[in-house]
Every structure is written in structure tokens, then in C-alpha cells.
Chain A
Amino acid sequence: MTAQAARLPAGYQAARLPAGHYRFRHVARMEWIKLRSLRSTWWTLVITTAGAIGIGVAVGINTKNAHGDLTNNALAGILPALLLTSVLGVLTMTSEYSSGMIRSTLAAVPSRSLLLAAKAAVFGVLALVVGEVASFLAFSAGGAALPRGITAPALSDPGALRAVLLSGMSFCLIGLIGLGLGAVVRHSAVAIAVVVAGVYVAPVVVGNASHELAKYLPIFIIGNSLSTTKPVGCSADGQCFHPLSAWAGLGVLALYAAVIFGIAWWLLARRDA
């Protein structure tokens, strides 16, 4: 035998184990290091923010109607930008499975509910911060880009601050819906397809079929309830429809995220990794 190592003293294991046990803050710290150590995280968030601002500016420049919902116009880039956030949410979960990392993760943290909670908290906070930054920047940049003669909306305008804040929150909720679906589906391509179909394609189908149902779809909630100063829409032909109020819309979106997380939690606890 080549080994000359000294034997570990009796009670070695017990003596060097710290008191207590791993907790949420340990797991959250792991998840934060994981998230921040991937370049793709930062690229995605930069493009998300730039996209939201760019579209807000483009819409601002081309605004002709000074009496429209200028806040909603400035926030027009939120919906396309959310696509990236939802995909980032999906990948945060599915990349664990596609790479085999999940087994390292679960060997370190066997409590699957704690893992899911920590992942959601860390990603949710990051998406919230980026979403709020993107919304506020888009709001000011979109307003500043308005042609001469049209007054830029101010945060003190009725409903404007609410619209900007809730638009930022939609990044968090849509990102979490993506993350939850990633945990349910586990395959990147399939999970991304489900998110895109659910958030961006389903509205086209349902929207044409029924306005009553359409107002419960995430994209309409964000576009017509969260990012507007007055959630009522009348088209040129005089047809009016009444979306959910901003807070009801936020509640419904949060409910979707909660349901998906419930399913994810149930499956994660039972499935083999």
C-alpha cells in the first residue's frame, strides 16, 4: 500500500461538522453564484434591457397622437423583451438537467423544495431588478424620444408610476413562469416551445376566438392591464373591450406562476434526478 496518511482521529466526522444544517441562505448563495457565473445570464439581461428601451424609443419617435396612452407606448418594448426573460428562466432550470449539473446540485442540497425555493427567489429578484430598470429606462427614453409638440409623460401622471412598476414586475412573474415550466418539462427546447406557445402564440388563437378569455392570457394582461394607465381599449370601429384591472391582472399572473410552481414542486419531489 502506498498510503502513509495518518488515520483520522476517532470522532473526526462529528468534531468537524459545524452545528446546525444547510439552510435557505446557503442554497440561495449557491444559486446566485451559479446564475452570475454564466456569461449568458448577463448577455440576455443586457439585450432584454436594450430591447425594451430601443422599442420604446422607436415608438416614441413615431408617435403622432398626443392623446394616446403615451406611457403604454413607451412600454411597448416590454412584451418582446419578456420573451428573453422567460427563456432565461427556462434555461436556469433546464440547463441543470441538460448538463448533468442537477446531480451535483441535489447531492449538495438533497431538499428539493429548498432548492426550488432558492432558485426561484434568486432568479425572481434578479428578473425583478432588471425588469424595473428596463421599464423605468424605457419610460424615460420613450418619453424623451417623442416628437416636438408632444409632452412626455411623467411618473406623476395618473397611473403612470403604477404602469411602469407593474411592467417591471411582469419580468419577474414571466421569468418565474419560465423557470417553473423548465422544472416541469426539464428539456430546454420543449420548455421554451411551451413558454413561447403559451405566452406568445396562444393569444393569437384565443384572441381571435374570444375577448372574454383573451383578457386572462399573460400577454394581454401585460399589454392591456399592467403597462397601461387606463386599462380600457376601444378600437377605431368603436368596439370596446374591458381588460382586467392592473391589480387583478397582476394577481392572475401571479396565480399562474404559483400553479406552475405547485406542479413543479410536486414533480421535483417525486421524480428521479
Chain B
Amino acid sequence: MIEVRDLTKRYGATVAVDALSFDVRPGTGTGVLGANGSGKSTTMRMILGLDRPDAGRARIGGRRYGDLRWPLREVGALLEAKAFHPGRTASDHLTALAASNGIARSRVGEVLEMVGLASAARKRAGKFSLGMGQRLGIAVALLGDPAVLLLDEPVNGLDPAGIRWIRDLLKSLAAQGRTVFVSSHLISEMALMADHLVVIGQGRLLADTSVDQMSRGAPSLEAAFLELTGASAEYQAAPSPPVTPTMGVSS
């Protein structure tokens, strides 16, 4: 269980996250949806204690992230695709992190196998494609077999087979009773990964609802999302001019 209460983060005059409150419950996948720059990643970083909130708090199982006894065994996180040193092999990267939380070395081979990187274990991570980097990040998240998972844009860089794999993985982790919190700006993907949605725009909570509930009464989940966030989108293109059929050839 993740509890976020009145979480606020300012960068100068900009309020990136504005008194955000929501819960992420175990047993179902919860997705956070928001446009680029809406505060999704900042929220995740604050939950993980990487960024200090200006106000409010985030708790995991009732504790601050910094107070966890074995962080990697309690929470698995994927924050960005390339959170590793390019000169280190996938295997060494995982072995080092495992050591920090007293996780058995044998677990490194297991997670490499799980994410499909076993054959690239001795390869330096700097040579990885974006998709392989993403898989390595997921391997880190799974390293401690944690009951809580936080994944920021997990499908980034994955090919269709990889996207399907991560979707099934997250569903099965949630079905095991784990707390799974995923962010994405891809609405169609989110609808397949999560059952519950937290929608934020400009750092504020716009909706905390189920996927079913949100798409009800709207032509699609996307339409519902755009209607909800329309007022708060930070970067908005001017509406496209109506397309008028052109006759003849113009140059």
C-alpha cells in the first residue's frame, strides 16, 4: 500500500506537484496518467525519497522510503531507462545492487532470465538498446522480489513483444497481491496494464477512479482523458484548422 498525502513540490515559482493525495492498493494495478510534465515522475521520485517534497508526505506500508529496512526487498522501482553506468555489465550492475540489500547472488541470474537478458549478462550496458536498458531496469525492480512495485513509463523503448511481456508480468504481479504502480502517457497501454487510474494534470489530482468507470459515458478512455485534462494541459497545440478538400493542384 502506497499512501500519498498533500504531496507538493515546487521548482522556483512553478508548482510541479500540487497537494496530491491518493492511495495505491495491493492486488490491482494502479496507473498514473498525465500529460508530459504533469508531475508523474516527480511524484514517483518523491515516493522513493529521491526528491524532497516541499509539503505533504508519501508512505509505503506506513513508512517513509528512507525508513525501509531493506528497500530493494520491499519496493522495486524503475525510474528511467538508463539508470546504470554504461561501462558496467548487466550482471555486475545487478550484483552490486543485490549486495547493498543482502540479496543472494543467485537472484541476479534469475532476474536476468526473467527479463530475457540472460544472453546479454556479460555485455556492457552502454551497448544496450533502449529496450534492453528498460529490461535491465525491470530486472533491478524485480531483484528483491518486492511486494510493492513502482514503474515509470515501463513500456518505453520496448518492441510489441516486449510490451506484451511487461503487461502480462505486471498483471501477474498484481494478481499475486502485490502493489503495482505504473505511470504512462499512453492511454491505450494504460487501459491494458491497470485496473485503477490516478489522473493528474499540472500536478493536481483530476481523477482517482477505475478504468471502467472512467471510460463509461465517453466514446473511449482517450476521449475521457482528454476531456479531463483539456483544461490543464501544459503544452497545447493550437487546434488544427478544419481540413477543406482542395480541388486541383496547388504548389
Which A residues form the contact surface with B (CB < 8 A)? 1-8, 12-13, 16-18, 20-22, 26-27, 29-31, 33-34, 37-40, 95-96, 99-101, 103-111, 270, 272-273
Contact = CB atoms under 8 A, between A and B. Distances in A.
B69 A30 contact: no
Given A13-B147, A104-B140, A107-B79, A1 B50 contact: no
Contact of A27 (B65, B100, B177): B100
Given A1-B171, A30-B100, A37 B89 contact: yes
Nearest to A111: B66
Given A22-B69, A38-B87, A99-B82, A5 B172 contact: yes
A110 B68 CA distance: 9
Contacts of B88: 34, 37-38
B236 to A, nearest CB: 28
A248 B176 CA distance: 63
Given A21-B70, A33-B95, A38-B87, A26 B50 contact: no
B129 interface: no
A30 B176 CA distance: 30
B84 A22 contact: no
Interface residues of B, number: 49
Contacts of A108: 71-72, 97, 100-101
A219 B130 CA distance: 44
Contacts of A26: 99-102
Contacts, number: 139
B175 A3 contact: yes
Given A1-B175, A272-B50, A273-B50, A99 B101 contact: no
Nearest to B64: A110
B196 interface: no
A26 to B, nearest CB: 5
A17 B74 contact: yes
B186 interface: no
B84 A12 contact: no
Given A101-B85, A103-B80, A22 B70 contact: yes
A18 B68 CA distance: 12
B209 to A, nearest CB: 19
Interface string B209-235: 000000000000000000000000000
Contacts of A30: 96-97, 99-100
Interface string B54-80: 000000010001101111111101011
Contacts of A110: 48-49, 65-66, 68, 71
Nearest to B65: A110
A22 B147 contact: no
A116 B61 CA distance: 27
A34 B125 CA distance: 13
A2 B45 CA distance: 30
A103 B73 contact: no
A27 B99 CA distance: 7
Q: Which of B74, B100, B145, B178 has the most CB of A within 10 A?
A: B100
A110 B49 CA distance: 7
Q: Which of B61, B72, B96, B172 has the most CB of A within 10 A?
A: B96
Contacts of A103: 45, 48, 50, 79-80, 83
Given A13-B61, A34-B85, A38-B88, A109 B178 contact: no
Contacts of A107: 48, 50, 71-72, 75, 77, 79
B99 A13 contact: no
A42 B19 CA distance: 49
B51 interface: yes
Interface string B134-146: 0000001000010
A7 B177 contact: yes
B80 A21 contact: no
A21 B72 CA distance: 11
Q: Which of A13, A38, A103 has the most CB of B within 10 A?
A: A13
30 contacts: A1-B175, A2-B168, A5-B173, A7-B175, A12-B147, A12-B177, A13-B74, A16-B145, A21-B69, A21-B70, A22-B69, A22-B71, A22-B101, A26-B100, A26-B102, A27-B100, A29-B99, A30-B100, A34-B85, A38-B85, A39-B87, A40-B87, A100-B84, A101-B84, A104-B79, A104-B84, A107-B71, A107-B75, A273-B45, A273-B51
